[in-house]
């Protein structure tokens, strides 16, 4: 394995262990605790919190001091997936190769677990002892902005209510920027503010946008091939507008390479080999 692979593998284990201990210590109902742990400790890539830690390492920051902030990012992401999987939304039965949360704990507990994870993500930021108050306020603002009413939530509305809108290529791009791209940009911005490297904000935002488009196209391609053993869930885009609806499989593969190359070019401007190699890694992922 190369340095990036080692980092991702080792710190995914560290993050899972940290998350497990953190949730287990909470004084909350056992049903809620078990439900949160079931979805939070999984075989997913954890690319968002790991990208945050990766950038702190790039900026020569002791990233082990910020595992709680990485957990905050992952809690927000997993909450959105628990709710996405509900029968009233995407109605998915599997994720990460196992039954979705509501199929194990019921819709009522799944909804409340998602709610709890969302609020906990903000609480964690407010209690970190290494971040000054002004930066905490900025991180909380960004988390609310990128995940909330004008961010991820709007993207989800555009997704589940597609028939109510005039869908074209620009609509598709906007929807996925909000729904998928925002939570890929967010960890990069977090790393900038914590490291006091705000001069990189613009380039990292552009990198996140390009990576987000590539990431979504790759997801659509994986759904197209639809192998459960490979992606850990059943294809869920039937009847929905995806990149393949406009471009077809071959053009999507070309677009995937195009946006990946754009992300790599930006990573060179940032002089960040980690992001360069991460772009390549996500290009060839199998799930």
Could you report the per-residue pLDDT of 225-268, keeping only the tens digit for each? 866 555 555 555 556 788 988 988 999 999 999 999 999 999 99
Within a 13 Å sphere around the CA of 36, how many CA atoms are in the beta-carbon half?
29
Number of folded domains that form the chain? 1
Domain holding 195, by residue range, is: 3-283
Contact 195, 57 (CB under 8 A): no
Burial class of residue 34, CB neighbours in 10 A (0-12, 13-18, 19+) = middle
Q: What is the pLDDT of residues 264-283, one digit of tens each?
A: 999 999 999 999 999 999 88
The packing angle between helices 67-84 and 30-40, to 10°, is 100
Higher pLDDT, 97 or 236: 97
**For residue 275, what are its two tokens?**
């992001």
User: Is there a contact between 146 and 152 (Cβ–Cβ < 8 Å)?
Assistant: yes
Query: In angstroms, what CA-CA distances link 138 with 39, 120, 163, 207, 243?
Result: 28, 17, 36, 20, 34
Q: What is the pLDDT of residue 236?
A: 56
Percent of the chain exceeding pLDDT 70 equals: 95
Q: What is the mean pLDDT of the chain?
A: 93
pLDDT digits (tens, 9 = 90+) for 188-201: 999 999 999 999 99
**For 111-141, how does the pLDDT look when each residue is reduced to its tens digit (9 = 90+)?**
999 999 999 999 999 999 999 999 999 999 9
Q: Write b or e for each residue in 156-179: b if 16 or more Cβ atoms lie within 10 A of its Cβ, otherwise e.
A: bbbbeeeeeeebeeeebbebbbbb
Which tens digit of pLDDT belongs to each residue from 173-224? Answer: 899 999 999 999 999 999 999 999 999 999 999 999 999 999 999 989 988 8
Q: How many CB atoms lie within 10 A of CB 129?
A: 6
* CATH number, domain containing residue 201: 1.10.600.10
Provide the angle, in degrees to the nearest 10, between the axes of the packed helices 133-147 and 107-127. Answer: 150
């Amino acid at each position: 394995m190369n340095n990036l692979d080692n980092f991702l593998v080792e710190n995914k284990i560290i993050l899972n262990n940290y998350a497990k201990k953190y949730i287990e210590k909470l004084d909350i109902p056992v049903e809620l605790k078990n439900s949160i742990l079931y979805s939070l400790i999984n075989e997913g890539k954890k690319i968002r919190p790991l990208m945050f830690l990766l950038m702190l390492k790039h900026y020569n920051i002791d990233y082990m001091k910020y595992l709680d902030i990485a957990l905050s990012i992952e809690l927000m992401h997993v909450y959105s997936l628990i709710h996405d999987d509900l029968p009233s939304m995407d109605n998915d039965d599997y994720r990460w190769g196992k039954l979705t949360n509501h199929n194990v704990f019921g819709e009522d507990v799944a909804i409340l677990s998602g709610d709890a994870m969302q609020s906990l993500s903000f609480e964690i930021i407010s209690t970190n002892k290494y971040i000054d108050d002004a930066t905490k306020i900025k991180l909380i603002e960004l988390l609310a902005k990128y995940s909330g009413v004008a961010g991820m939530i709007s993207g989800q509305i555009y997704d589940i209510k597609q028939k109510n809108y005039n869908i074209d290529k620009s609509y598709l791009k906007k929807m996925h920027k909000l729904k998928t791209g925002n939570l890929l940009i967010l960890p990069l911005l977090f790393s900038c503010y914590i490291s006091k490297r705000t001069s990189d904000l613009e380039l990292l935002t552009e990198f996140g946008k390009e990576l987000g488009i590539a990431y979504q196209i790759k997801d659509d391609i994986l759904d197209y091939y639809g192998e459960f053993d490979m992606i850990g869930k059943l294809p869920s885009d039937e009847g929905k507008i995806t990149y393949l609806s406009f471009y077809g499989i071959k053009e999507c593969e070309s677009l995937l390479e195009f946006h990946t190359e754009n992300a790599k070019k930006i990573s060179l401007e940032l002089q960040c080999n980690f992001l360069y190699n991460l772009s390549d890694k996500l290009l060839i992922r199998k799930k």
